[in-house]
Amino acid sequence: MNYNVFGNEVKQEVEKLLGTEVRVELRQITKNNGIILDGICILEKGCNVSPTIYLEEFYREYKNGMSLREIASRICEVYEKRCRGIPFSLEYFLDFEKMKERIFCKLINRELNKELLNEVPNILCLDLAVVFVCAVENEEFGNGSILVREEHRKLWRVSKELLYEYARENTFRLRPFELKSMEELIEDMVEPEEKKLLKEIPMYVLSNQKRVFGAAGLLYDRVLSDAGVRLEDDFYVLPSSVHEVILVPDHVAGSEKELRTMVHEVNHTQVEPEEILSESVYHYDRKKHSLSIC
């Protein structure tokens, strides 16, 4: 059974198991960097908000021998454990006074998200763009985020500049940034020879304490300025993912061509496609307090 047929068959099996109390929808969700995923949404009566249960992993299980009935049962289990009766209602989301403290910044690639940027409020930054996400945090539902779209902004009757103002403040205050040396982060995971290399070529990881959308630290000169003080040098910024970036002091960085090659290789071997931030290398000048593309 090909993937498209699989999705419809799973939807029908889920409907058989759950009956008419809920509405089951098969949706295509556009993720960051133009990645499109298929998923099942199970909506209770009177509710228009539900997490998406993605099908890609279930299709792999199907090809390995799991039956459609088993897959539908697994999806229903996920729904019962994580989705049924979530307290996050559409009415709550549409109240800006209630949502404004939940809005955070996320940095994404401008070129890879051209179509998306036509649909969401955004602020341009270098070859990147700042978009806005609303954090959803609940013990039963788990942690997640909802991308703020133009229709949300219009319903809230706020400008993208005001969204940016709230998001910058919330991001800095509620998701504190931290800078750790690579040696500190992976000390117990590397061999003695690699530890020696890390000391000779020091690299630092900038993210936030939650390790979610931590690349947004690039938006704050005070974060970059403090990093320069610790590194005691100007530095290059290698975009590791939307969640973190790597800082390399000028005096050990090597050539910009080598750095770009490193970024390219990491993006294509270590990072999930939807989490890639950029192929560019950036440089921070401490005296000018300036971050620029190399």
DSSP class of 141: T
Question: What is the distance between the alpha carbons of residues 175 and 63, in angstroms, rounded to a whole number?
Answer: 41
Residues 186 and 262 both lie in one domain: yes
Residues 202 and 281 both lie in one domain: yes
173 CB-near residues (< 8 Å, 6+ apart): none
Residues 222 and 270 both lie in one domain: yes
E strands within 211-265? 235-241, 244-249
Residues 181 and 289 both lie in one domain: yes
pLDDT at 200: 59
Residues 166 and 189 both lie in one domain: no
Residues 95 and 163 both lie in one domain: yes
pLDDT at 84: 59
Residues 30 and 64 both lie in one domain: yes
Among candidate residues 105, 140, 174, the one where a domain is terminated: 174
Residues 218 and 167 both lie in one domain: no
* Residues of the domain holding 54: 3-83
DSSP class of 94: T
Q: Which residues of the chain have pLDDT under 50?
A: 139-141, 190
Residues 193 and 248 both lie in one domain: yes
pLDDT at 140: 47
Among candidate residues 83, 101, 134, the one where a domain is terminated: 83
Cβ-contact 235, 205 below 8 angstroms = no
pLDDT at 175: 94
pTM across the whole model: 0.83
Residues 219 and 248 both lie in one domain: yes
Q: What is the total count of domains within the chain?
A: 3
Residues 168 and 224 both lie in one domain: no
Question: What is the distance between the alpha carbons of residues 276 and 112, in angstroms, rounded to a whole number?
Answer: 10
Among candidate residues 48, 83, 118, the one where a domain is terminated: 83
Question: What is the distance between the alpha carbons of residues 285 and 233, in angstroms, rounded to a whole number?
Answer: 9
**H or E stretch at 40:** strand 36-44
Residue indicated by tokens 């949502």: 99
